[in-house]
Amino acid sequence: MKLKSILAAGTAAALLVGMLVLPAGARSATVPAQQEVTQVVNALGIMVGDSQGNMQLDRTVTRAEFITMAVKASPNGDQVGEASTSPYPDVPYTHWAAGFVEAGVAAGLITGYSDGTFRPSNQITLAEGVTIVLQLLGYSNEDFSGAYPTPQMALYHSLKLDRGLKAQNSSDVLTRYDAMYLFYNMLSTNTKSGTPYINSLGHSLNAAGEVDLVALINGVMDGPLVATGNWQSSIPFSLSGVTVTRDGEASSLSKVQEYDVVYWCQSMRTLWVYSDKVVGTIQAITPNTAAPTAVTIGGHSYELDSAAAVYALSDLGTYDLGDTVSLLLGRQGKVAAVTDPIATASERCGVVTKVTRESYSDGYHSSYTADTITLLATDGNSYNYECTTHTYEVGDLVGVNIAADGTVSLKRLQAAKLSGKVSSDGSKIGSTPLADGVEILDVYENSGTRVFASRLAGINLTQDMVSYYTMNGSGEIDRLILNDVTGDNYSYGLLTRMDVLPSGGLTNYYTYVYDVGGTTYTLPNITTGFPVSTGGVMIKGDLTNPDKIYNLTKVTATSISGNQLIASNRSYTMADNVVVYEYRNGSYYLSSAQRVQEKGLSLTGWYDKTESNGGRIRIVVAK
């Protein structure tokens, strides 16, 4: 039951010794969204809801409850067990929080009262909660001077631990809502020694200095488990009222199908379910069958994500080269399990991006060569297929049929045209509905980007913008291939220098210097003159040897609100991957929308085209 020892004083004592030292630097004062805060404290097990997931955020917090949260937020706090003795007369060893009270007292986080009691049911005040959190951050008696709790509250505000809390005065009673935000804020706050507190828990912050929620959930997620038989009994908590996400969308327990792949987090009471499957013949197991890490089917390599999948494809397992199998795919498209072929056929379609000659095993310890296409499919992945009966060229539309036995057949597709305005909610093109989970591929020459239906909202699609589409049995579009609609295939950056050097003849030499996402590229002394000037630019092709460079359109802005750049009485939608720069002392530095807004800097935006044609603000420069 040992926890990292932290020197601290009792929550009711005055801390009088030493000088208060305020840390350098400042964190964002922006209040994090409640949903994110809830997910983080749930994932770490600091606070959880009841059996139905209700967090009861309006309820006040007792001393026993708060020290339990604090201990759970400590390194090794999840290892605290039941108390072997009674830490206080009013906290017998049978008390539900006895183990946490004992651990909290041992770590110096809290003390009892002078009469020898702990008073576990007393409500905890803001000052008391703040003192415990500061102790977790490594501050001790020697860091404060003055009457308690004035210096503690000053440091609390300076560190921005107050973001989102409703309790204002030091004597205010904390609610579960307040406690949730207090512990969340602590995670991204630097300890006295200068490192983010969350590092002590084995997690990290993202580049913006915020809790990396995706990495955090991945770190606490359990699984995978294949949904066969009585699979629910293998989940270590009641599934009544559980939150279910299936293939990235809100779902329900009743929607989980046989052979789905399931991950879970008990503290979050959440299931993540994936239904993707691949049927085909094993073409390669890499690096070897002694320790496989990936398997190739249909020319596409899939990373293995579970010990069961590794074993199944190892030299000790069931499957080998040439076997026809089903791969059950979990998060990030990785293989969670390998089974005999599941009796289901599948189809995919896409655009040929490359044609090569490749070598194949004939199954008799010899090999042969054949034309091979690389197909960029509407699911955003690239697949390699052997071509035995037809020849294809880059840019061809190709359909793939994969039979239940893994047999693959290819066919050239004829263009299917469509036009209409995409509805504001991204659910229809004209009067034609889009299926849930519709796969959309936006293609430019030999590259493409998968986009979501919401990205197309409000765009007027003409027939030359739509290359191909398919419809399901309900008359909904389920696959859609676009011809360079969104502009999301290109790179965007700042052209910071352009020099023209006359050669003395008919040809000039040009040098271009541009920054893309913090990386500087230089095209020195080339004969191609692009029709551009310094500022925001769109770059088509290889960044080291681009096909074309175009200027973006400039707009002077006043502020940023959410994903909108505000310019006078008009707003512009920023791209999901908008790049924000700060211009200081003659140089450009990567920044963030939140940072430049808080600093009150002057803003300039650069967009590629109007929003009705798919345009977005691609670059923001703050001065």
Question: 365 with 467, same domain?
Answer: yes
pLDDT at 8: 33
Least trusted range by pLDDT, from 276-280, 424-428, 529-533 = 276-280
Question: 71 with 190, same domain?
Answer: yes
**Residue 552 DSSP code:** P
Could you write out the DSSP letters of every residue in 292-311?
--EEEETTEEEEB-SHHHHH
Helix (H, G, I), strand (E, B) or coil at 385: strand
In a domain, 267, yes or no: yes
Task: State mean pLDDT over 238-242.
Answer: 87
Question: 43 with 155, same domain?
Answer: yes
Helix (H, G, I), strand (E, B) or coil at 313: coil
| Residue 490 identity (one-letter amino acid) | Y
Domain boundary residue among 307, 323, 339? Answer: 339
Distances (CA, A) of 110 to 132, 212, 544, 601: 7, 30, 60, 44
Task: State mean pLDDT over 37-59.
Answer: 86
Question: 156 with 240, same domain?
Answer: no
Question: 365 with 462, same domain?
Answer: yes
| Number of structural domains in the chain | 6
Residues 107-124: tens digit of each pLDDT: 999 999 999 999 999 999
Question: 365 with 429, same domain?
Answer: yes
Helix (H, G, I), strand (E, B) or coil at 522: strand
Tell me the whole-structure pTM to 2 decimals.
0.60
In a domain, 23, yes or no: no
In a domain, 1, yes or no: no
Higher-confidence residue: 360 or 315? 315
Residue 328: give its domain's CATH number.
Answer: 2.40.50
Question: 535 with 558, same domain?
Answer: no
Name the residue range of residue 195's domain.
Answer: 34-201
Domain boundary residue among 339, 358, 377? Answer: 339
Question: 149 with 235, same domain?
Answer: no
Taking each helix axis from N to C terminus, what angle separates 126-136 and 150-158, rounded to the nearest 10 degrees? Answer: 70
Over 90: is that where the pLDDT of 581 sits? yes
In a domain, 215, yes or no: no
Task: State mean pLDDT over 376-393.
Answer: 86
Residues 489-539: tens digit of each pLDDT: 999 999 999 999 887 677 889 999 999 999 999 999 999 999 999 999 999
C-alpha 461/C-alpha 477 separation (Å) is 14
Question: 415 with 435, same domain?
Answer: yes
Question: 46 with 132, same domain?
Answer: yes
Task: State mean pLDDT over 19-46.
Answer: 68
C-alpha 219/C-alpha 213 separation (Å) is 10
pLDDT class for 83, splitting at 50, 70, 90?
A: confident
Is the CA virtual torsion 599, 600, 605, 611 positive or negative?
Answer: positive
Question: 38 with 181, same domain?
Answer: yes
Over 80: is that where the pLDDT of 364 sits? no
Contact, 418 vs 576, CB < 8 A? no
pLDDT class for 153, splitting at 50, 70, 90?
A: very high
- Spatial neighbors of 524 by CB under 8 A, at least 6 apart, are 511
Least Cα distance to 88 among 67, 124, 113 occurs for 113
Over 60: is that where the pLDDT of 95 sits? yes
| One-letter-per-residue 3-state SS of 504-516 | CCCCEEEEEEEEE
Question: 40 with 189, same domain?
Answer: yes
pLDDT at 344: 57
